[in-house]
Amino acid sequence: MTLDRAPRGDAPRSPALQGKSHDVHPPKPLGVPPSHARPGSSHLTPEARAALNSACDTAADPGAPLETSLHPGCADELVSIYNGGKTHAGQTAWNNPVTLTLNTAYAWVAQLQAGYTPEELRAFARSAYAENAFNPPGTMQRVGTTSGLAYHVQVYTDAQGRVTAHLQGCGPVADGADTLITYDQGKRCWINKVIFHQPVEKQLPRQPDAKARQVFAAGDSDTDLSFVQDATHLKLAINRNKVQLMCNAYANHQGQWLVQPMFVQPRAQGSRYPCTTAKDAAGQPLVDEAGHPFTQDYEDRVYALP
């Protein structure tokens, strides 16, 4: 099994199975103790590190794929921490699971790939895609003893061209600080950095100059909100019942928002969106793109295809 980040916005749907034995490819050794004993993220709690070491230490020799097909307890621990944010025993896995610039589980997926070259990782992804791409909607998989699973981050490369366990920085976050990925406001940061070539101090905030922002943006997740808000002329919300995104869409600031039901298996009508009481990832009240708190909640009006 390899872990690949979900392509859309928020929580990943599951790890994708890969390889005939469906075993996990852990970080390759980089001149340090056994790679499978290195959890890869500084944000894991001591309990999560202990659980991973206990479940996975015997699953492979250092540098070899973790034989999760023969060690379901190791697979269960990986899935539980990645998918649910808790160890298999129910202990909290992350010190601070979600911020305005980081989802620690998403980042962990990239960090687990340390030691491989980008081309090796592309091969994992191609294999996982070939195995899963044409499954019908609703297809479920089993990893370890966990069934019912239905399933983008920039990392360093070292002098040998291998991916490391650290993340490339953006804006005020330095390389290796490992607190920002292309998540929520981190998406805006990377758009400003890579597409608009803004200097470091201008990468994280919204650009006041409309010429330095995208004309059109679309998203389906609360974590797409920053870059969708930044669009200067048209903002499209794909309705997956995400509170922050849909509050903004139905508020329709400056008449620039459109709402589109999901194209495949659209979601049922959501309950009234609690725009006036919900909080963002930083624990703050929701605000519209002008920075104003919402003064009303909104009914879900656009959810069914014609």
Q: What is the pLDDT of residues 182-232, one digit of tens each?
A: 999 999 999 999 999 999 999 999 999 999 999 999 999 999 999 999 999
Bigger pLDDT: 27 vs 252: 252
Q: Are 216 and 236 in contact (CB under 8 A)?
A: yes
How many angstroms separate the Cα of 137 from the Cα of each of 4, 133, 134, 194? 18, 10, 9, 34
Tell me what pLDDT residue 61 has.
81
Residue 32 scores a pLDDT above 50: no
39-43, 44-48, 217-221 — which is least confidently predicted? 39-43
> What integer pLDDT is reported at residue 34 of this predicted model?
35
Q: Is the distance from CB of 157 to CB of 151 less than 8 angstroms?
A: no
Mean pLDDT of 2-7: 29
Q: What is the pLDDT of residue 180?
A: 95
CA distances from 194 to 157, 190, 213 (A): 18, 6, 12
pLDDT of the residue at 30: 33
Q: Could you tell me the pLDDT band of residue 162, with boundaries at 50, 70 and 90?
A: confident
Q: So what's the pLDDT on residue 88? A: 94
Looking at the predicted structure, is the pLDDT value of residue 19 above 60? Answer: no
pLDDT of 100-124, one tens digit each?
Answer: 999 999 999 888 888 888 998 899 8
Q: What percent of the chain has pLDDT over 90?
A: 60
| CA distances (Å), origin 102, targets 55, 137, 176, 187, 205 | 26, 29, 13, 10, 16
Identify the pLDDT of residue 12: 31
- Higher pLDDT among residues 7 and 46, named by residue: 46
Lowest mean pLDDT among 29-33, 49-53, 134-138, 235-239: 29-33
Higher pLDDT, 1 or 259: 259
pLDDT for 49 beyond 70: yes
Does position 37 have pLDDT exceeding 60, yes or no?
A: no
- What pLDDT shows up at residue 36? 37
- Whether pLDDT at 149 is above 60: yes
What the block records as the tokens of 78 is 């990986």
- pLDDT score of 3: 30
Q: pLDDT confidence of 139, banded at 50, 70, 90?
A: confident
In the predicted model, what is the mean pLDDT of residues 250-264?
96
CB atoms within 10 A of CB 146: 19
Average pLDDT across the chain, whole number: 84
pLDDT exceeds cutoff 60 at 77: yes
